[in-house]
Amino acid sequence: METAQAPGAVRSDAPATTGAGARAVRWRPGGLRWLGVVPLTAYLAFFLIIPAGELVVDAFRTPNGAFTLGNVSTIFQAQYLSSFGASLELSALAALLGGVLGLLAASAIVHPSAPRLIRSSVTTFSGMAANFAGVPLAFAFTSTLGATGVITVAFRHAGISLAAINPNATTLGLALVYNYFEFPLMLLLLVPALDGLKREWREAAANLGAGGFTYWRTVAFPILLPSLLGAMVLLFGGAFSAYATAYALSGSTGNLVTELIGNLTNGNITVDPQLAYALAFGMMIIITLLMVVYYLLQRRASRWLR
């Protein structure tokens, strides 16, 4: 029947629309529901999946269209490998930096003695800091730690050279800049994990004879480790994929994979498309690996921190 009594026969299909008119409510069998996701699927196919797919395919094709492993093997040449090395090194540094600092900060704000205000303001600020990334961030750090930066100049007066952390020139400097968005991300990821540490564990450990440090070493840290590592994997991925900040800091002299790809693609003229495809493909492989690792770590974390 077509009246509002239909819900009595509730199944997984909610009533379908009948178009004009407010009255009629009819039950439709399964198949047509799938139409609902067609727009999104088509959109993503067009703007994400097909371009990405073509890129992967083209990484194995010569300009004439023949199959080749040549493109991919090119990136194993020393100069490109060093580029990947530089990117991986930077990402590891940024992930480590953001990871450790984020952990310290997160444990501070999760502490029950911390005023309520700290927690919410830090969380909001983290959101803000994470959004500051890109060109403005690069300029901010140039103004701070660059050759004529405020801090650099101040330290020079004191006789200390800060060349080692010049963001325009050194990996460490760049990692420090990346930290600006990595650290808040770590914070936002870790606070829920730290909240998940049950009070009973701390108390039970104490009751059984464990002091603070022993508790952390034997219980809390092992339990947190999957979440911690998972978060650092995300940080790694974020640093690895970053382009704007690095480019704004080192212009066309940068050695990172992303910058390399940028140089090849700039201005609508792809100078060496095969190389660009291969490099991009290489990046995708690495990131996919990271995602798999992340997924596995997440599974373990959610089992323990339920």
Partner 1 sequence: MAAVTVGPPPARRRGRRHLPVWHVLWIIVAGAYFLVPIISLVQFSFGGLVNGHSAGFHWYATVFADPNFRSSFWLSVQIAIETVVLSNLLLIPTTFWIHLRLPRLRPVMDFVSVLPFVVPPIVLIVGLIPFLTPFTFLYSRPEVLAFIYVVFALPFLYRSLDAGLRAINLRTLAEASANCGGSTWSTLVRVVLPNLRSAVIVGSFLTVAIAMGEFTISSLLSFNTFPVYLFNIGQTTGNEAAALSVISLLLTWALMVSLYLVGRGGRTTAQVAATR
Partner 2 sequence: MARIELRGLHKQFGGGVVALDRLDLEVASGEFVSLLGPSGCGKTTALRIVAGFEYPDEGEVLVDGADVLHLPASRRNMGMVFQSYSLFPNMSAKSNVEYPLRIRRQPRAERDRRARDLLGLVGLAKQVDRYPHQLSGGQQQRVALARALAHEPGVLLLDEPLSALDAKVRVQLREEVRRIQLELGITTLYVTHDQEEALSISDRVAVMSEGRVEQVGTPAEVYVRPRTAFVASFVGTVNRLEARVVSSVERTVRCGEVVLTVGADVFDHSDGTSVALYLRPEDVGLRTTLNGDGDNGLPGRVRSVTFLGPVTRVGVDCGLGALVADVSSETALGLSLDQPVSVVVDSARLRTIAAG
Summarize as ranges the residues that interact with partner 2 (CB under 8 A): 198, 200-201, 203-211, 214, 218-219, 222-223, 303-306
Cβ neighbours of 125 (radius 10 Å): 12
Picked from partner 1, partner 2, none, the partner binding residue 149 (CB below 5 to 8 A depending on kind) is partner 1
Among 100, 119, 273, 305, binds partner 1 (CB under 8 A): 273
Binding mask 56-95 for partner 1 (x = CB under 8 A): --x-------------------------------------
Q: Any long-range contacts for 162-168 (C-beta under 8 Å, 24+ apart)? A: 167/138, 167/141, 167/142, 167/249, 168/142, 168/249, 168/250
Q: How far is the CB of 257 from partner 1 (least distance, A)?
A: 9
Among 287, 293, 296, 305, binds partner 1 (CB under 8 A): 287
Q: d(Cα 112, Cα 120) in Å, to the nearest integer? A: 13
Among 83, 166, 171, 179, binds partner 1 (CB under 8 A): 179
Picked from partner 2, partner 1, none, the partner binding residue 209 (CB below 5 to 8 A depending on kind) is partner 2
Residue 261 or 301: which CB sits closer to partner 2? 301
Among 96, 169, 220, 293, binds partner 1 (CB under 8 A): 220
Site for partner 1 in 103-122 (CB under 8 A): 104-105, 107-114, 118
Q: Could you tell me which stretch among 60-68, 70-78, 128-136, 158-166 binds partner 1 (CB under 8 A)?
A: 128-136
Site for partner 1 in 227-266 (CB under 8 A): 237-238, 241-245, 247-248, 251, 258, 261-262, 265-266
